[in-house]
Amino acid sequence: MSRLNQLLFFGLAALISAAAIAAEPEFFPRKAEPGKTYPFSEAVRVGDMLYLAGEIGLGADGKLATGGIKAETKQVMDNIGANLARHHASFDQVVQCTVALADIKEWSDFN
């Protein structure tokens, strides 16, 4: 291997190693009631990408929003917005959202 190829190889290896170190995931645990923990994080940051855990329509009181799917959806979006804000992000940076509904008949009210 020529000297130039060796330098390029080791330089590339160093860059790949640096990128791997920089891409270590940072976990943000979900806040729970005292004495209670959750087995998942509310968010995980890997590099510049933030991944959020699933949300449901629970309010700050820990109860499901009343009023059906529309109220629950609003609460979910409020929860997601608050989660994004806690991690210095916003809805305009969201690139994908996956939704699961218990009843597909509620799609139009949800959407």
Per-residue pLDDT band for 44 (boundaries 50, 70, 90) equals very high
Q: Is the pTM of this model over 0.75?
A: no
Per-residue DSSP letter, 39: S
Q: Which neighbouring-strand residues pair with 28?
A: 43
37-72 burial string, b = 16+ CB within 10 Å, else e?
eeeebbbbbeeeebebeeeebeeeeeeebeeebeeb
What is the pLDDT, as a whole number, of residue 36? 79
Model confidence over 50-73: pLDDT tens digits?
A: 999 888 898 988 899 999 999 999
**Domains delineated in the chain:** 25-110 (3.30.1330.40)
